[in-house]
Amino acid sequence: MTKHRTIISEIGNTPLIKLKKISELTGCDIYGKAEFLNPGQSIKDRTALKIIEEAELRKDLTKGGLIVEGTAG
């Protein structure tokens, strides 16, 4: 089992999974990135992390600042 120091270090560290049937049908090795294994179970985790990191660098988001998360359905 892999141990991570923070939940943030988990974001984006998702495995590639070989898609057997489509690989056999095409004669190619085809893989899917298992983004559902991100902490928020979504590829959107990567985008959210990047937005937050950039806001912190620009000082638009500081300690004690507010982050509002809107849903996409």
Alpha carbon distance 47, 51 (integer Å): 6
**Does 21 qualify as catalytic in the annotation?**
no
Would you state the pLDDT for residue 73? 60
Would you state the pLDDT for residue 23? 98
Instruction: Collect the ranges in the chain with pLDDT lower than 50.
Output: none
Would you state the pLDDT for residue 72? 67
Structure tokens at 16: 């590639």
Would you state the pLDDT for residue 45? 92
pTM value > 0.75: no
Shortest CA distance to 34 belongs to which of 21, 46, 49, 22? 46
Would you state the pLDDT for residue 9? 87
Identified catalytic residue from 18, 44, 50, 59: 44
